[in-house]
Structure 1
Amino acid sequence: MAILNTKQVLKDNKTNNSNSITSLTLTFKALSDVSCLSDFNNLEKLDLTFNSLSSLEALKECVNLKWLSVVQNKLRSLKGIERLTKLTVLNAGKNKLNSMDEVTSVITLRALILNDNEITSIPKLDRMKELNTLVLSRNPIQEIGESMEKLKLISKISLSHCQIQTIGSSLKSCTELRELRLAHNSITNLPDELVCNKRIRILDIGNNFIGRWSNLKVLSSLSNLRNLDLQGNPVAEKKKLARKIKKLVPSLQIYNAKPMEKIMENEDGRINDSSADAGDKPEVKKPKHLDHTKGSNSMEHHVAGPSKDTDVDGNQEYFMEKKSKGKRKKGDVEFPDIAKKRPTFEDLKQNGNNSGEDGKSSYLNPDIKNNLLPDKHETKESSKKKTGEEVQRKKRVKNVTIDDGEIPFSAMFTADITENAASQNESLKKSKQEIHSAGEVVTFPKNKKKIKRGNVGASALQSLLPANEIGLGGPSAWDD
């Protein structure tokens, strides 16, 4: 508990004249008494969020206030607000108010936010003709009644998480209404009077008790509707409801917080149509060359996806990934059953060496084969001449199997980039040694250009992944 002091306010604002202050932010100060604010005659904006105020009587002298926030205090009444005849925005959410009758006399209000209180009924707001935003969500309000009959300019209404059972004709006069949120109530029907609200663009009636298709037919009159939420209603469980909704409201873009186009594609079976047969198996796609530098946008394929080849009988099959249950030995590679007999590793080696001679292609993708099987033109003498690093690199490539789930996806890119850098450094060292062995004087420029290298590891992987889509049909940002 704390009492606001005029001297302290002037000191914090670096002034000696209280009339020069038009805006004050006094949040998180545990204030219980702000009576000294009567000295600030020109105060227009006041933020008292997160304090311990139990009354607004101390503000009745601040007659020039236009913007007031008293969120998260201990208010049980709005008494004292009647004197603020210039007030346009009032946010008194998250208090203990059980009535809102005092605000009806503040006819200048344009935005009234009283969410998360204990208000049980809405008084007539017919005098508040300039009101355009009304937020009463999370209050035990049971009916709207005739409270909004003359609110012709209101454009946003939130009555979510209340106890409303019917809408009736209560919104008939709200012809400028564009956003209506009635989620988490006990509504069973959308009334025919909703036809008067033709400007509605966002309608959230999720988690109610609407069970029949006939209860939704009034939606056909909402030609400007772009965002509709029905999830949580019994009617939303019916198959291919999205198709009926789209025919009813052709302008609809977001349905149940998802793009309407994607929902329609899923219902038509054009996306994931093989998921019923495949179960939890990853989707098989057409292969790409084994090139780690290009990256991959899918976390399901550890290297470069499946490779497509022709088997002995001329039938096209896919080289699919398959997880191994036992421990692998170096050089082991697992393959699916392409023919009746599962080929052994010796068969694959023989097939790889004879590829192209009989007009039939190998079981292996050429890029994988070159890494796993020895070149038929390679002699023993040439292999001995290879450097130690090249031999070690080839061994590491041999040990990487396509279905190795223990190897992180980013390591595929990291290893390739590191090997390229190591080979460049090795070739540079060799060239220097050859020049020095010739007995010549060699000079190198001081300002050598540094070779730019891409990000290695998780940062490189992050740049390859698609950006997340966000913001489609989410909750309202103004009723929190």
Structure 2
Amino acid sequence: MVARLLNVVVLDVHSNQLKVLPNSIGCLVKLKVLNVAGNYLRCLPRTIENCRSLEELNANFNQLMRLPDTIGFELLNLKKLSVSSNKLVFLPHSTSHLTSLRILDARLNCLRSLPADMENLIKLEVLNVSQNFQCLETLPYSIGLLLSLIELDVSYNKITALPDSMGCLQKLRKLCVEGNPLTSPPVEVVEQGLHAVKQYLSEKMNAGHRSPTKKSWIGKLVRYGTFNGSRVSRMNQEESEGYMAPDYQRISGFASPRYMGRFSPRRLFSPRRSNAC
């Protein structure tokens, strides 16, 4: 039946006690807005990836255990992803390739971590991962490369330290961290407001630049323009090289389905390849 609605642009089926969506939803190639909130969905059909015109997906208040693994490789026009009040333990790695995404709302889940390489979310303005039932303990260092981020809500989790890289979030205007057992930055700094937090994290990042991990990330921050490197001039040439990185190439092309097969265990460890070595 859905296949007959080929020209539909907005589909709103919220609060209908739906347990599944038909695979034929993938036929809606012109669909821009899909609202399936307030149902009993445990998963989304993989065919939803064929809805490449989709700009807004609202799947709040369901029972989602996971999202399609490659959803981020296909829904490249998606601007708003709302999956709050579900049972998600993680967001698929491909989520970090939603380069048009502006709003990501994943609060009230059971998230234990976020994708490590979030730097490709270059248009993300609002990120809400609050109230993940004390499961979320850390944030990825790549969060400091979210160039467009304006609002960040990580409240009521189990986070003890904010990544130093957050000191480089130049456009950040709203930060919610209450309800976390934070030790870095300390409570007295948090109470002084966003500016104090960013300054604390920036100074901490500078102080820890000798760490190999920090050197690698500071190099990326310099390349992305979020870190001005004003203190580099105070160091000798060898130390300043820690702030520079070789040409950074996005991995999106290599992480696409077209290339992933080249790195599969079956291909890498095949008898033919072993003999060749």
TM-score calculated relative to the size of structure 2: 0.65
Mapped to 2, the partners of 1:230 and 1:75 lie a distance apart of: 35
2:173 to 214, 222, 226: 226
The one of 132, 136, 149 aligned to 1:200? 149
The 5 Å alignment of 1:144-223 reads: 144-185=91-132, 186-212=135-161, 215-223=162-170
Q: Is the 8 A contact 1:225 1:249 kept in 2?
A: no
Once the two structures are superposed, residues 311-336 of structure 1 have per-residue CA deviations (whole angstroms, 9 ceiling, x without a partner) of xxxxxxxxxxxxxxxxxxxxxxxxxx
CA distance in 2, matches of 1:119, 1:84: 22
The answer to whether the aligner puts 1:102 opposite 2:38 as a matched pair is no
The aligned counterpart of 2:26 is: 82
1:423-473 superposed Cα distances (whole Å, 9 cap, x missing partner): xxxxxxxxxxxxxxxxxxxxxxxxxxxxxxxxxxxxxxxxxxxxxxxxxxx
Aligned 8 A contact 2:141 2:163 in 1: no
Q: For residues 58-89 of structure 1, give each alpha carbon's deviation from its aligned partner in whole angstroms, at most 9, with x where no partner exists.
A: 33211110011111002111213122111100
Equivalent position SS for 2:152: strand
Counterpart of 2:16?
73
1:286-305 equivalences under 5 Å are none
Distance 2:177 2:124 in 1: 19
- Distance (Å, rounded) in 2 between the aligned partners of 1:154 and 1:226: 18
User: Which amino acid counterpart does residue 51 of structure 2 have in structure 1?
Assistant: V
| 2:93 and 2:115 in contact (8 A); partners too | no
Larger relative helix fraction: 2
**Equivalence for 1:140:** 87
Q: Deviations over 1:91-126 (max 9, x none)?
A: 000111111123111111010111111111122121
Higher Cα radius of gyration? 1
Which letter does structure 1 place at the counterpart of 2:191? A
Matched, 1:112 2:57: yes
Contact 1:200–1:222 (8 Å) recurs in 2: yes
- TM-aligned CA deviation for residue 170 of structure 1: 4.6
The CA distance in 2 between the partners of 1:121 and 1:233, in whole Å, is 25
CA RMSD of aligned residues (A): 1.9
Gaps of 5+ in 2: 200-277
Aligned residue pairs, count = 191
Structure 1: distance between partners of 2:104 and 2:95: 10
Identity of aligned residues (%): 22
Whole-angstrom distance in 2 between the partners of 1:168 and 1:128: 17
SS in 1 for 2:110: coil
Instruction: Tell me, yes or no, if the aligned pair for 2:95 and 2:115 is still in contact at 8 Å.
Output: no
The residue type paired with residue 84 of structure 2 is S
Q: How does 1:322-471 map to 2 (within 5 A)?
A: none
Contact 2:175 2:194 in 1 (8 A): no
Structure 1 stretches of at least 4 aligned residues deviating more than 3 Å after TM superposition: none
Q: CA separation in 2, counterparts of 1:71 and 1:167?
A: 27
- Supply the distance in 2 between the matched residues of 1:194 and 1:240 (Cα, whole angstroms): 20
Q: Normalized against structure 1, the TM-score is what?
A: 0.38
Q: Displacement, 1:207?
A: 0.4
Is the 8 Å Cα contact of residues 148 and 170 (structure 1) preserved in structure 2? no
Question: Do the aligned partners of residues 145 and 87 (structure 1) sit closer, same or farther apart at CA in structure 2, a change above 3 Å counting?
Answer: closer
Q: Matched residues in 2 for 1:226 and 1:232: separation?
A: 19
Q: List gaps (5 residues or longer) in structure 1.
A: 1-57, 251-480
